[in-house]
Amino acid sequence: MANAPRILAVLALGLALLCAAGPAAAQNCGCQPDYCCSKFGYCGTTDDYCGDGCQSGPCRSGGGSPGGSSSGGGNVANVVTDAFFNGIKNQAGNGCEGKNFYTRSAFLSAADSYKGFGGGSVEGKREIAAFFAHVTHETGHFCYISEINKNNAYCDSSNRQWPCVAGQKYYGRGPLQISWNYNYGPAGRDIGFNGLGDPNRVAQDAVIAFKTALWFWTNNVHRVMSQGFGATIRAINGALECNGNNPAQMNARVGYYKQYCQQLGVDPGPNLTC
């Protein structure tokens, strides 16, 4: 028994070394490639990190293996039914350009490339409701493919990494109205089209249009879902709508989100405004 303190000390040291060698990292994440940032802010590759509440990386919203029935595409298709999707689109007028452009099949095809998006869990359904709330607001219930004012080139000439191409304009296009050269460039690179040289492709191919929206969502919005819907407004249009800058627009987004949460049978959660 006299050696008990020494044994405990050795065990404690061994446990500390084991933890240090594991996948967990600092609580603010900053994970290496192919690691998930968990809802608690740690890095790893198991369901504890990549499952419900995962903030970034190869998340699997419903848990389970990547591409399996409990992640991404399959559950998204079960949640975003024809009735849900067309219930949004049917509110657009018959003269709307997006009426025959945006389709559920195009959305599901795009979503299949983003396995960490949505799912059948509460968090997954909230994310789907949030995504479509913003899409509804940005496109007027799938009425618009491109923004009405096409005069602004949305070219940040100081951005040397993604230089504007002469004659091209980077105004809003697609379900989330992606804009600016510094978004079109990397979106095109990651999705597989010439975003800088042919930005209008987003307004011509519905699958690419949805992919740009999900690309933007994955890179800018997905990680803040755990903070509430208000954080997603701030991530998309915060400077224009949050902090009392345009409460009517903000409340319109919140209204859609609450409506879609009700349709999907989930509570909208806290922190709805920004």
Among the residue ranges 16-20, 159-163, 169-173, the one predicted with the least confidence is 16-20
Nearest to 117 by CA among 104, 98, 130: 130
Q: Kindly state whether residues 73 and 194 are assigned to the same domain.
A: no
Q: Kindly state whether residues 118 and 159 are assigned to the same domain.
A: no
Q: Kindly state whether residues 195 and 229 are assigned to the same domain.
A: no
Domain CATH code at residue 175? 3.30.20.10
pLDDT band at 271 (very low <50, low <70, confident <90, very high): very high
Query: Which residue among the candidates 127, 138, 147, 241 is catalytic per the annotation?
Result: 138
pLDDT at 68 over 70: no
Total count of domains within the chain? 2
The answer to whether residue 231 sits within a structural domain is: yes
C-alpha span between 229 and 208 (Å, rounded): 25
Among the residue ranges 45-49, 150-154, 192-196, 218-222, the one predicted with the least confidence is 45-49
Q: Ramachandran region of residue 253, left (φ > 0), alpha (ψ -120 to 50) or beta?
A: alpha
Q: For the chain, give the percent of residues with pLDDT over 90.
A: 70
Q: Kindly state whether residues 137 and 227 are assigned to the same domain.
A: yes
Q: What is the pLDDT of residue 43?
A: 79
Helices marked H in 28-158 — which ranges?
Answer: 47-50, 73-79, 82-89, 104-111, 122-139
Q: Kindly state whether residues 69 and 181 are assigned to the same domain.
A: no
- 196-254 pLDDT, tens digit each: 999 999 999 999 999 999 999 999 999 999 999 999 999 998 889 999 999 999 999 99
What is the mean pLDDT of the segment spanning 136-157?
Answer: 95
Q: Is 63:109 a contact under the CB 8 Å cutoff? A: no
Q: Kindly state whether residues 75 and 126 are assigned to the same domain.
A: yes
Q: Kindly state whether residues 68 and 200 are assigned to the same domain.
A: no
Find the helix packing angle between 247-264 and 229-241, rounded to 10°.
160
Q: Kindly state whether residues 196 and 176 are assigned to the same domain.
A: yes
Q: Kindly state whether residues 228 and 127 are assigned to the same domain.
A: yes
Q: Check if 138 is active-site.
A: yes
pLDDT band at 175 (very low <50, low <70, confident <90, very high): very high
- 240-268 pLDDT, tens digit each: 999 999 999 999 999 999 999 999 999 99
The answer to whether residue 198 sits within a structural domain is: yes
Sign of the dihedral defined by the CA atoms of residues 18, 20, 23, 24, in that order: positive
Q: Kindly state whether residues 195 and 92 are assigned to the same domain.
A: no
Q: What is the pLDDT of residue 19?
A: 36
C-alpha span between 58 and 121 (Å, rounded): 17
Global confidence as pTM: 0.74
The answer to whether residue 69 sits within a structural domain is: yes
The answer to whether residue 149 sits within a structural domain is: yes
- 157-167 pLDDT, tens digit each: 999 999 999 99
**Which three-class secondary structure state does DSSP give residue 54?**
coil
Q: For the chain, give the percent of residues with pLDDT over 70.
A: 76
Q: Kindly state whether residues 69 and 80 are assigned to the same domain.
A: yes
The answer to whether residue 47 sits within a structural domain is: no
Domain that holds residue 82: 64-144+221-264
The answer to whether residue 56 sits within a structural domain is: no
Q: What is the pLDDT of residue 42?
A: 77
Indicate the residue type of 245: N
Of 180, 205, 230, which closes a domain? 205
Nearest to 179 by CA among 160, 191, 193, 195: 195
Q: Kindly state whether residues 79 and 138 are assigned to the same domain.
A: yes
Among the residue ranges 27-41, 68-82, 185-199, 208-222, the one predicted with the least confidence is 27-41
